[in-house]
Amino acid sequence: MIKIGTRGSKLAMWQAEHFQQLLNEINIESSIIVLKTKGDRIQNLSFDKIEGKGFFTKEIEDALLAEEIDVAVHSLKDLPTESPEGLVIAGLSSRANPADLLLIREDSYDEQQPFKLKKGSIVGTSSQRRKSLVRYFRPDISLKDIRGNVPTRIQKLKDGNFDAIVIAKAGVDRINARIEGLHSRVLNPKEFISAPGQGVIAFQTREGEIDIRKMLGRLSDKNLVDTVNVERKVLKLLEGGCHMPIGVYCEKDDLGNFHVWSCYGNNWKDDLNFVQYSSNTKFELAETIANKLK
C-alpha cells in the first residue's frame, strides 16, 4: 500500500487522485493522506511576504522524511529547486497546458484593448511573475493581491472584487472550474511567460526507496524531463522562487533543438529583462540564459 501525501485543495486532490489512478493501472493499491501547509494556513499575505521557500510543500516533505507517507504529490512550480536532504523528485506527469489564463468580468471586457481588458482595470494575482508581466504589457492596470484555491479566486472575481484575475489554465482545466459568465483569454506562454514547471505534477519520494523510485520513473513522461530540467535549472541559477518575478518556458522540437523563452526582474515593480534563446544541446543552455537575464 502506497501512502500518498497531498494538500487538501480541490486541485491538489485532483492531482493526488490522478496519481492514484496511475497506480491503479499498474495494480498498486494506495491511500491519500491530506496535510495542511504554511501556505494554506496563511491566507492574508501575498506570496512575497511569506517568509522562506516551499511554503506549499514543507509540511508534506516533513511527513515524507518521517515516513508518514511514501510519495508526495506536488505542483512542480511550487517545489524549490533543491529537495531536502534524503528526498528526490522521482517522476513527472505529462504536462497540461502551461499557459496562464486571464478571466474577465463581463462589464470589464473591452474588445479594443490589449488582452480585451478595459483601461484602468483591477487585476487580482499574488504572483510576482504575473504582476510583473501584467505591469509590462498593461501599465495602466492596477494590481491587487488575491489568495485562496482556484474556485475561491474565481468566486472573488464573480463577486466583483476584481475586474479580472490571472490563473493557471492547467488548474482551471483539471478541476473543470466553473467560469461561465466570464470572458477567458489564454495568454501565450512564449509572451506572457509561464512559471518554470507550470502544468506539471511532481512525484517526490525518499532517496533510499529504490523500488518506489523505479516505479515513479516508469510513470513519468520521458519527453518532458529535458525541457522541465532546463526551466528549473535557470530558476536555480537565478536563485529564484515565489519572491521574484521569473518566467521560463522551454520546448523541444522534432529535431531535438531546445527553444527557451524567459523573463527576469528583481521585483515586480522593476523592469523585466526578456531573453529568447535556442540551442541544439541542453548542456550550458540554462547557464547561457541565466547569464543573459542577469
Per the structure, the count of domains in the chain is 1
d(CA 289, CA 276): 8
* 6 within 8 A of 15, measured Cβ to Cβ: yes
Task: Flag residues of the chain having pLDDT under 50.
Answer: 41-53
Within a domain: 221: no
Give the domain CATH number at 114. 3.40.190.10
pLDDT for the residue numbered 222? 78
Among residues 34, 247, 223, 231, which one has the least CA distance to residue 131? Answer: 247
Within a domain: 199: no
pLDDT for the residue numbered 42? 45
Q: What is the 3-state secondary structure (H, E, C) of the chain?
A: CEEEEECCCHHHHHHHHHHHHHHHHCCCCEEEEECCCHHHHCCCCCHHHCCCCCCCCHHHHHHHHCCCCCEEEEEHHHCCCCCCCCEEEEEECCCCCCCEEEEEEHHHECCCCHHHECCCCEEECCCHHHHHHHHHHCCCCEEECCCCCHHHHHHHHHCCCCCEEEEEHHHHHHCCCCCCCEEEEEECCCCCCCCCCCCCEEEEEECCCHHHHHHHHHHCCHHHHHHHHHHHHHHHHCCCCCCCCEEEEEEECCCCCEEEEEEECCCCCCCCEEEEEEECCCCCHHHHHHHHHC
pLDDT for the residue numbered 49? 41
Within a domain: 141: yes
Catalytic, out of 48, 70, 78, 145: 78
Task: Dig out the grid coordinates for 140 from the structure.
Answer: 495602466
Domain span holding position 119: 100-187
**188: region left, alpha or beta (phi > 0 left; psi from -120 to 50 alpha):** beta
Within a domain: 217: no
Within a domain: 105: yes
Q: What is the pLDDT of residues 60-89, one digit of tens each?
A: 999 999 999 999 999 999 898 989 999 999
Within a domain: 238: no
Number of Cβ within a 10 Å radius of residue 24: 11
Taking the alpha carbons of 202, 205, 208, 211 in that order, is the dihedral positive or negative?
negative
Within a domain: 71: no
Taking the alpha carbons of 202, 203, 206, 207 in that order, is the dihedral positive or negative?
negative
Is 163 catalytic? The answer is: no
Model's pTM, two decimal places? 0.91
pLDDT for the residue numbered 57? 85
Within a domain: 10: no
Q: Whose grid coordinates read 507550470?
A: 198
